[in-house]
A and B are shown apart, each in its own frame.
Chain A
């Protein structure tokens, strides 16, 4: 069955036409044996999503949506099934004729075989997601090759990272700017413009041109930094080599590092929040803006932030039936909200999603809202092809925590915010907690000034008065009893989910008072997992920063060269732990048995064969090899020829003290 292509009509939606793709240059490639069509400029992921595949695979409690944050790694099929050169779907340019296989927990041949292809649902990649450790991220365990060095590494090519790079170049520093996507600019386009400000497009174009024209700045696109400490970052870098995508893991070194990693979009916590058909606002915008991808014909928006209204209007312009915007804030005010009302988009305030489940009609989702304060909204079930979710923005502190940086829970904004400074490493932009574009830009330049001891740059947050622009609300948390699908804490690679009280049998409750612990959850916790855990009361707010740092998915970058084992070839004859065991002045004796047997170190020596009380022992074997045995013996029993009993494995063996060791 061929699914309809999920591309917007460029004639109808110029704002979401797909700036990166060339519709005049179609291409096709294979994934697990399935032919995927796309356009030049697509990534593997955007082409797959455009082809109508929106599911990674099944869990026992339901399928999970395919997204930029939750997609399996792939490997060129021609190189076998190993993970030697794994690629990221989201960071691999689609190329004509390529042939890829997905990397799941289990061997992907099961997914590319003829029978599997016949049985595989059209919307699904067919990966099993039952394993508790989630999808493998193979490059995380690969060693890093030596990569280039510079004065400054900037992680993240949003407006803050671009500003940091330009400020550093202007100061005469060499810069490596590492950006995970194929583009610079980040997400600021979604957030619009304040009066008197340069538009995001103009600002991004200006800075992109300046960076392109700078000899001091090297830009690595499609490169994800997944580990950092002062002086070094490790990145998985995808490049096109003669039209063939390839990837490597490299360690980049620099005197200083700016982390401008942006934010993670929080996932509202409700049953079914990662079902196929759900998507985050940032990702929905990026897919539509860059690739013209928008699966389905109708959408419901659930948000705690005004940014979602802007996307709803753009989608509406593109012909997507915007069924409703559900806003958790009781009386939100925003210019975007005023505009969306003018569009005739229905808005329900003070409400959140209680649960979503696959539509009984066969396509899309059935969505049940509830009051944000708790309680049902009568007769309010909605159906839509797509549910666009926005739970607000959490600064992405992953690399900051990995490098040893601290953070704390800010109760007023319900998010983890960075705390303190680190030598050789600074945060910038929304990763540092800034909200407005101007503040993000200034903070990029200021981060460079901080790191290199230059004159600091003033950073001023420019926000509209809350009367006119209601601040974001905390990510919505639905009633735990709603819905049957799992409720996840975050939409990322990990699969931490809300534990429900009713998920244990009465028998288990009767036999065990123990409960599963977040502390030993088998996966690292993403920063948004921790934020959700605070909101759910699983982690006290005061401990949130510590937990976030403890549970970050650490990748060691060396720097610790302490010896693994004290490797002394010869052990001391009398270890320190025997001090005082056999009186004040024990002596060392060579010992022998009548049958010439070998003894074992540690065997106790008793005064006679009947004695078994270890407190009564008068000595112990301290050396035993082919050259003979030596025992430490209490002074009271140390005389040549003395007959004693050695206890091994419960048996007594007569021994005699042969001679005292000289100097002992």
Chain B
């Protein structure tokens, strides 16, 4: 009896990993094994999934603009209306460098047709500036886990539990053990930070990647913020105020640092009580831009450094992995390869980054 084989094994529990698995299987007809249970029902989130970010590169804005309507339709189909929200994130900065960066983000977003305007409301710390990015999409798939699982099943994605063994080979192929069955894997995709930290061998660790402490703080209810989503360019803090006034804040540093930065950002009018906190290791790129492709040019595919925009880019990544990308998508992926530091003459894609 021949050994069963899948084209791709995806390791990861984020919306990007789960959407990618479903798209590869359903839209592109690949056989896919997904290892990674969503912990969204009971663990604190580690990032947001937005159609915007602190982005200064025109190619990234262009790609997001092309894909956002597609991903909105897809996610609405999976999780119905509540799985997608439209909102106006507010980017803020206090430092001179941060305020200058706000200008670059605003003008580049506006150049791609986004309504990006200086924030003239109240509620920011003295000396701060803000830019509102109108009509962004927030994916709320974490609240629709069961619907995503059902969609994955319908797309034909096979599942591997977290306790079952998955071995990644140096050439990116691999083996999975599911019960008594051994499954050969054509190519492994490490689709979130935890997957990279668990499976990428040190010999293939890209120079581009940096480990950093990061954390999430959940708070009790506070009065309404100036915007439902805030991003502090100076600290990398993302804040999402949810129904009922609670806040989820994610950013680099320890939980204490995130709590202090949140308190400093919001001031005395929004004193909060912590309702949860989580510290973890996250991966960022040295140049602040996302990275895709095979580690060391030959190993497993990695998806890293996307910050809030990974989920939205899932359809483009799926097409690229299957050789069906548009020219613009191919160009973007080609310039964001994870081994770009080692490629002479590679165009710089250095960006503000999506720090958390």
The interface of chain A, by Cβ under 8 A from chain B, is: 131-133, 140-141, 511-525, 533, 538-540, 543, 546-547, 550-556, 558-560, 562, 564-572, 575-581, 600-604, 612, 614-615, 617, 620-622, 647-650
Query: In whole angstroms, what is the CA distance A577 to B97 when docked?
Result: 11
Give chain B interface residues in 251-302, CB to chain A under 8 Å: 253-257, 259-261, 264, 271, 273-278, 287-288
* CB nearest neighbor in A for B345: A584
Q: Would you list 5 pairs from A and B whose C-beta atoms are within 8 A, ordered by A residue?
A: A517-B40, A565-B98, A576-B350, A580-B347, A600-B107
Asked if B41 and A571 sit within 8 Å, CB to CB, the answer is: no
Asked if B277 and A519 sit within 8 Å, CB to CB, the answer is: no
The answer to whether the Cβ of B187 comes within 8 Å of any Cβ in the partner chain is: no
Among B4-12, B80-88, B166-174, B319-327, the stretch that binds chain A is B80-88
Asked if B257 and A560 sit within 8 Å, CB to CB, the answer is: yes
Asked if B42 and A533 sit within 8 Å, CB to CB, the answer is: yes
Among B140-148, B193-201, B202-210, the stretch that binds chain A is B140-148
Q: Within 8 Å CB of A560, what residues of B?
A: 254, 256-257, 260
Asked if B81 and A580 sit within 8 Å, CB to CB, the answer is: no
Q: How large is the interface on B (under 10, 10 to 19, 20 to 34, 35 or more residues)?
A: 35 or more
Asked if B246 and A520 sit within 8 Å, CB to CB, the answer is: yes
Tell whether A554 pairs with B255 under 8 Å between CB atoms, given A512-B80, A521-B275, A577-B350: yes
Query: In whole angstroms, what is the CA distance A133 to B278 when docked?
Result: 20
The interface of chain B, by Cβ under 8 A from chain A, is: 39-45, 56-59, 61-62, 78-83, 94-108, 110-112, 140, 142-144, 146-147, 218, 220-221, 234-235, 242, 244-246, 248, 253-257, 259-261, 264, 271, 273-278, 287-288, 347-353
Q: Within 8 Å CB of A620, what residues of B?
A: 104, 107
Q: Within 8 Å CB of A131, what residues of B?
A: 221
Asked if B276 and A514 sit within 8 Å, CB to CB, the answer is: no
Query: In whole angstroms, what is the CA distance A546 to B43 when docked?
Result: 8
Nearest-neighbour CB distance to chain B for A584, whole angstroms, equals 10
Give the number of A-B contacts (CB < 8 Å): 209
Nearest-neighbour CB distance to chain B for A511, whole angstroms, equals 6
Query: In whole angstroms, what is the CA distance A647 to B57 when docked?
Result: 17
Asked if B348 and A579 sit within 8 Å, CB to CB, the answer is: yes
Nearest-neighbour CB distance to chain B for A399, whole angstroms, equals 15
Q: Within 8 Å CB of B61, what residues of A?
A: 614
Asked if B58 and A517 sit within 8 Å, CB to CB, the answer is: no
Asked if B111 and A604 sit within 8 Å, CB to CB, the answer is: yes
Asked if B274 and A555 sit within 8 Å, CB to CB, the answer is: yes
Asked if B348 and A570 sit within 8 Å, CB to CB, the answer is: no
Query: In whole angstroms, what is the CA distance A560 to B255 when docked?
Result: 9
Tell whether A577 pairs with B351 under 8 Å between CB atoms, given A514-B83, A562-B253: yes
Nearest-neighbour CB distance to chain A for B6, whole angstroms, equals 25
Q: Within 8 Å CB of A556, what residues of B?
A: 256, 259-260, 274
Tell whether A517 pairs with B273 under 8 Å between CB atoms, given A547-B43, A579-B348: no
Q: Within 8 Å CB of B234, what residues of A?
A: 565-566
Asked if A140 and B273 sit within 8 Å, CB to CB, the answer is: yes
Nearest-neighbour CB distance to chain A for B336, whole angstroms, equals 13
Tell whether A565 pairs with B94 under 8 Å between CB atoms, given A132-B244, A140-B273, A518-B41: yes
Q: Which 9 A-B pairs have the closest CB atoms?
A: A580-B348, A602-B103, A601-B103, A560-B256, A514-B143, A614-B111, A513-B147, A602-B107, A512-B82
* CB nearest neighbor in B for A516: B143
Asked if B100 and A514 sit within 8 Å, CB to CB, the answer is: no
Tell whether A520 pairs with B218 under 8 Å between CB atoms, given A560-B254, A566-B95, A569-B96: yes
